């Protein structure tokens, strides 16, 4: 890992000792020695973006003094930005040898003594960068392939909604990162910024934002960079940019930059090593130098020399423009290596989805002249058959990627054009993904920003509303790691309608937080006449049996695979008036790669306590509480809208209901039942009755009255069977 300290870059061999003033004892955390005891104020604060982030993140901690001793290999950041200890892997041919050095400094860290996990988070920041992901895969030496997707900002409200639906499905296949483009002339600047924030923090994928110089004075560039930095985003694709609409040539804006090289230099000068910077490479030559379909050799060599300048200025990775002749790409890679460019060069693959789009895109990029004749010959007889063109595009893309991978290159970047089928089909053909086996590192998807990098515990109550949970915890300074009790955050964000609006061209585009397609499904499936509470029972039962695809209490699409294990039991208790909104079956040592309940990768075993959460009337709750006395393994929490709480556990009894055992790791317990969080969650759960379901009906509709009666009188109940081996959670409902 790497650390920027006092504006210098330090490489992998990192030993850090933190001395707290006036203290005698120390505790060791990894390679960091964390002192304990009381301290005094210090007066010296170091510089550098990592420490700036630390002070901002930990702003609510009490003031302490630390002395930091760093013993590492020093690399002069003015001469080299690479992070390899091995000189032969360095991105510069003239990279200097590292020099052992010890740095000692004092600084103020605002916080308490329990800052170990945040310090380690800080030291793992570099792993969030694209370059680190590529290096990690390369170092694994197991033929791992790094793949990624590119998207562009849609022009319409429906387009934004559809894009995020596709992202959710595609990100489930674990791409290393996804990027979002910056419209010509900066036309989508605001939308791009909003989308990349949502990608990183809600879709939960490592995200890279395109940033261009077109129509962008330095103030606007810095605004974009500070915005994404504050949202934990570390990756930028630095581009000069295309001319604005209606113009043929790029024109430098007053107070802006003339080229991508200037942008790269500015980012490194102003932000140090915080950002991972990617730049564009052109296997056939930049469009500006292409004449009659080809780039003159002298211009091509000049283009390569300029690319090297971008790398020498601080770029970590090169992603290429689209191409359809793999030999040209491989020649380009070799040409780059010959002039000393050693950073990863990622091939940009654009599947052919339809003939007209293919001709338009290759014309825009001026790549028509170097399309292999066999490609054009294959397309000509089928050009009016879109399905046949798409099938050929998948075949061509697959064969191109096979040849690239056979050459030893282990990275692929797919230009999706916001279409998922072709990109996923190519990856499936290569054996890189399996539609039926989607792995999960945790039962829930963690935001891909630096502030939540170690988060691995959540209350189960938001299992079906993960975006709501992220929204309500986005301001936390620490996120639970290892156990829920480590969290110092008792405060959740305010209960608001957390749909977000993004603004472009003075009009609001509804973001995916509350997509209209979901509202439409709810309208179709849930806005039916309700004459009595029994009609409500029927709706809940239908959802549990898979007859409905939507639920007001879920952001997800339909039943989750593990729910199908117990859906008949759920249907039965819903008909009895126990209206379920969240559940999981008991699991005793299932393999961690199980397609229904697995998570955490291969080689482990996962466990779950049976859990069900539901609304019920006071009368049914009384009967249930009485029955629970016959089942000592059951624990419950029950609360009504007003906050009247009934329980057979104390408020401090946090119950781990999901955990996993993995080789050479501590036990991981990603979901818990936390009584304090349950009381917070109940406001949201009750509010959904009126804010979501009742709002599907006209104001005077009598169905609203039925819904409001349930909301005002029922209890929300959380029920756990702690016997995950021999227990039977549903037995308690049999005689009620």
Tokens linked to 35:
């002192």
How far from 653 is each of 217, 278, 485, 580, 719, CA to CA, in Å? 55, 48, 10, 23, 14
pLDDT of residue 90: 47
Res. 187 pLDDT band, cuts 50 70 90? low
pLDDT of residue 489: 46
CB 345 within 8 A of CB 318: yes
The predicted model gives 138-153 an average pLDDT of 88
- In angstroms, the CA 488 to CA 59 distance is 13
pLDDT of residue 689: 97
CB 278 within 8 A of CB 286: no
Among 297-306, 440-449, 664-673, the minimum mean pLDDT is found in 440-449
Res. 718 pLDDT band, cuts 50 70 90? very high
Q: What are the backbone angles phi and psi of residue 600, rounded to the nearest 5°?
A: 90, 0
- In angstroms, the CA 347 to CA 343 distance is 13
CB 227 within 8 A of CB 271: no
Q: Which residue has the higher pLDDT, 415 or 187?
A: 415
Cβ within 8 Å of residue 122, ≥6 positions away: 50, 53, 54
Residue 38 has pLDDT above 70, yes or no: no
Nearest to 225 by CA among 189, 179, 255: 189
CB 526 within 8 A of CB 550: yes
List the Cα angle 718/646/573 in 5-degree steps: 40
Res. 26 pLDDT band, cuts 50 70 90? very low
pLDDT of residue 517: 63
Q: What are the backbone angles phi and psi of residue 302, rounded to the nearest 5°?
A: -65, -40
> How confident is the model over 262-295, as pLDDT tens digits?
999 999 999 998 899 999 999 999 988 888 888 8
pLDDT of residue 182: 86
Percentage of residues in the chain having pLDDT higher than 70? 77
CB 658 within 8 A of CB 670: yes
Nearest to 412 by CA among 337, 348, 318, 476: 348
Residue 64 has pLDDT above 80, yes or no: no
The predicted model gives 37-56 an average pLDDT of 35
Q: What are the backbone angles phi and psi of residue 492, rounded to the nearest 5°?
A: -95, 155
Whether the CA torsion 435, 439, 444, 446 is positive or negative: it is negative
- In angstroms, the CA 41 to CA 655 distance is 39
* SS3 of residue 563 by DSSP: helix
CB atoms under 10 Å from CB of 103, counted, come to: 17
Mean pLDDT is highest, among 40-44, 142-146, 379-383, for: 379-383
Q: What are the backbone angles phi and psi of residue 646, rounded to the nearest 5°?
A: -125, 135
- In angstroms, the CA 585 to CA 588 distance is 10
Residue 424 has pLDDT above 90, yes or no: yes
> How confident is the model over 384-414, as pLDDT tens digits?
999 999 999 999 999 999 999 999 999 999 9
- In angstroms, the CA 198 to CA 499 distance is 11
Residue 39 has pLDDT above 90, yes or no: no
| CATH annotation of 152-163+175-408 | 3.20.20.220
The predicted model gives 345-360 an average pLDDT of 95
The predicted model gives 187-204 an average pLDDT of 85
Tokens linked to 690:
């009126």
CB 347 within 8 A of CB 412: yes
The predicted model gives 628-654 an average pLDDT of 96
Q: Which residue has the higher pLDDT, 83 or 307?
A: 307
Tokens linked to 368:
């028509």
Among 113-127, 499-513, 626-640, the minimum mean pLDDT is found in 499-513
pLDDT of residue 488: 44
Res. 331 pLDDT band, cuts 50 70 90? very high
The model carries a pTM of: 0.72
pLDDT of residue 666: 87
> How confident is the model over 573-617, as pLDDT tens digits?
999 999 999 999 999 999 999 989 999 988 999 999 999 999 999
**Through-space distance between the first and last CA atoms of the chain, rounded to whole angstroms:** 58
β-pair type (15-20, 63-75): antiparallel
Q: Which residue has the higher pLDDT, 677 or 96?
A: 677
CB 521 within 8 A of CB 531: no
pLDDT of residue 95: 52
Percentage of residues in the chain having pLDDT higher than 90? 56
Q: What are the backbone angles phi and psi of residue 182, rounded to the nearest 5°?
A: -115, 115
State which H helix or E strand residue 656 sits in: strand 655-661
> How confident is the model over 83-140, as pLDDT tens digits?
433 444 444 445 545 444 333 333 333 333 233 333 434 334 335 789 989 988 887 7
Which residues carry out catalysis?
A: 150
Q: Which residue has the higher pLDDT, 148 or 254?
A: 148
pLDDT of residue 481: 79
> What torsion, rounded to 10 degrees, do the Cα atoms 369, 375, 376, 379 define?
-150
State which H helix or E strand residue 228 sits in: helix 218-230
CB 600 within 8 A of CB 592: yes
The predicted model gives 634-652 an average pLDDT of 96
Nearest to 239 by CA among 187, 280, 194, 190: 280
Q: Which residue has the higher pLDDT, 399 or 735?
A: 399
pLDDT of residue 30: 28
Residue 308 has pLDDT above 80, yes or no: yes
| Residue ranges with strand state E in 56-98 | 63-75
Mean pLDDT is highest, among 49-63, 109-123, 363-377, 481-495, for: 363-377
Among 146-160, 454-468, 496-510, 539-553, the minimum mean pLDDT is found in 496-510
The predicted model gives 20-33 an average pLDDT of 30
Residue 507 has pLDDT above 70, yes or no: no
* SS3 of residue 102 by DSSP: strand
Tokens linked to 115:
């800052």
- What are the percentages of helix, strand and coil residues in the chain, rounded to 5? 40, 20, 40
pLDDT of residue 557: 87
Helices (H) and strands (E) in the chain, counts: 20, 28
Residue 72 has pLDDT above 70, yes or no: no
Residue 692 has pLDDT above 60, yes or no: yes
List the Cα angle 523/525/526 in 5-degree steps: 70
Average pLDDT, the chain: 80
Res. 539 pLDDT band, cuts 50 70 90? very high
pLDDT of residue 230: 84
Q: Quickly list H helices, 141-188.
A: 157-171
Domain boundaries, the chain: 2-108, 152-163+175-408, 458-482+493-733
pLDDT of residue 60: 34
């Amino acid at each position: 890992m790497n650390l920027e300290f006092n504006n210098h870059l330090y490489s992998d061999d990192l030993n850090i000792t933190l001395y707290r003033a006036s203290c005698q004892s120390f505790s060791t955390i990894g390679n960091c020695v964390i002192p304990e005891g009381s301290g005094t104020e210090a007066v010296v604060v170091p510089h550098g973006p990592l420490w700036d982030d630390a002070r901002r993140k930990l702003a609510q901690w009490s003031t302490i003094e630390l002395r930091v001793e760093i013993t590492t290999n020093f690399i002069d950041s003015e001469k080299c930005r690479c992070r390899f200890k091995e000189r032969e892997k360095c991105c510069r041919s003239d990279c200097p040898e590292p020099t052992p050095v010890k740095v000692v400094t004092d600084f103020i860290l605002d916080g308490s003594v329990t800052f170990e996990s945040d310090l380690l988070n800080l030291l793992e920041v570099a792993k969030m960068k694209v370059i680190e992901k590529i290096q990690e895969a390369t170092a694994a030496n197991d033929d791992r392939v790094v793949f990624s997707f590119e998207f562009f900002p849609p022009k319409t409200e429906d387009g934004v909604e559809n894009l995020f639906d596709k992202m959710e499905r595609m990100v489930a296949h674990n791409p290393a990162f996804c990027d979002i483009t910056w419209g010509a002339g900066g036309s989508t600047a605001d939308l791009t910024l909003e989308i990349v924030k949502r990608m990183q923090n809600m879709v939960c994928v490592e995200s890279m934002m395109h940033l261009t110089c077109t129509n962008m004075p330095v103030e606007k560039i810095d605004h974009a960079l500070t915005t994404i930095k504050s949202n934990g985003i570390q990756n930028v694709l630095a581009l000069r940019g295309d001319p604005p609409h209606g113009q043929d040539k790029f024109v430098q804006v007053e107070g802006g930059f003339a080229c991508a090289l200037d942008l790269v230099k500015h980012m490194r000068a102003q932000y140090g090593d915080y950002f991972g910077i990617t730049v564009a490479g052109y296997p056939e030559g930049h469009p500006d130098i292409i004449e009659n379909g080809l780039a003159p050799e002298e211009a091509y060599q000049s283009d390569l020399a300029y690319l090297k300048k971008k790398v020498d200025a601080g770029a970590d990775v090169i992603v290429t423009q689209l191409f359809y002749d793999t030999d040209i790409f491989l020649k380009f890679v070799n040409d780059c290596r010959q002039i000393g460019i050693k950073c990863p060069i990622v091939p940009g693959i654009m599947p052919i989805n339809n003939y007209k789009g293919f001709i338009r895109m290759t014309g825009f990029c001026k790549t028509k002249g170097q399309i292999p004749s066999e490609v054009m010959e294959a397309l000509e007889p089928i050009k009016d058959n879109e399905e046949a063109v798409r099938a050929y595009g998948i075949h061509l893309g697959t064969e191109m990627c096979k040849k690239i991978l056979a050459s030893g290159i282990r990275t692929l970047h797919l230009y999706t054009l916001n279409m998922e089928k072709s990109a996923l089909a190519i990856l499936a053909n290569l054996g890189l993904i399996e539609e039926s086996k989607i792995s999960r590192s945790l039962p829930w998807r963690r935001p891909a920003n630096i502030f939540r990098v170690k988060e691995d515990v959540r209350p189960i109550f938001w299992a079906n509303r993960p975006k709501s949970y992220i929204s309500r915890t986005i301001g936390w300074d620490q996120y639970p790691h290892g156990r829920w009790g480590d969290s110092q955050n008792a405060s959740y964000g305010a209960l608001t309608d957390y749909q977000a609006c993004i603004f472009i061209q003075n009009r609001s585009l509804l973001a995916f937080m509350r997509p209209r397609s979901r509202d439409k499904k709810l309208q179709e499936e849930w806005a039916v006449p309700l004459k009595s509470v029994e009609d409500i029972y029927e709706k809940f039962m239908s959802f549990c049996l898979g007859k409905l695809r939507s639920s007001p209490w879920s952001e997800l699409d339909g039943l989750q695979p593990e729910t199908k294990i117990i859906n008949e039991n759920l249907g039965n208790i819903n008909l009895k008036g126990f209206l379920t909104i969240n559940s999981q079956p008991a699991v005793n040592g299932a393999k961690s790669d199980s397609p229904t309940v697995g998570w955490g990768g291969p080689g482990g075993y996962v466990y779950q306590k049976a859990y069900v959460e539901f609304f019920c009337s006071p009368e049914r709750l009384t009967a249930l509480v009485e029955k629970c006395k016959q089942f000592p393994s059951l624990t419950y929490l029950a609360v009504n809208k007003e906050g009247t709480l009934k329980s057979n556990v104390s408020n401090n009894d946090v119950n781990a209901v999901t955990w996993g055992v993995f080789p050479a790791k501590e036990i991981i317990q990603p979901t818990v039942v936390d009584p304090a969080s349950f009381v917070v969650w109940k406001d949201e759960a009750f509010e959904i009755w009126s804010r979501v379901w009742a709002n599907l009906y006209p104001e005077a509709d009598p169905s609203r009255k039925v819904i409001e009666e349930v909301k005002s009188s029922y209890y929300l109940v959380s029920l756990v069977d702690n016997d995950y081996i021999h227990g039977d959670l549903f037995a308690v409902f049999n005689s009620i």
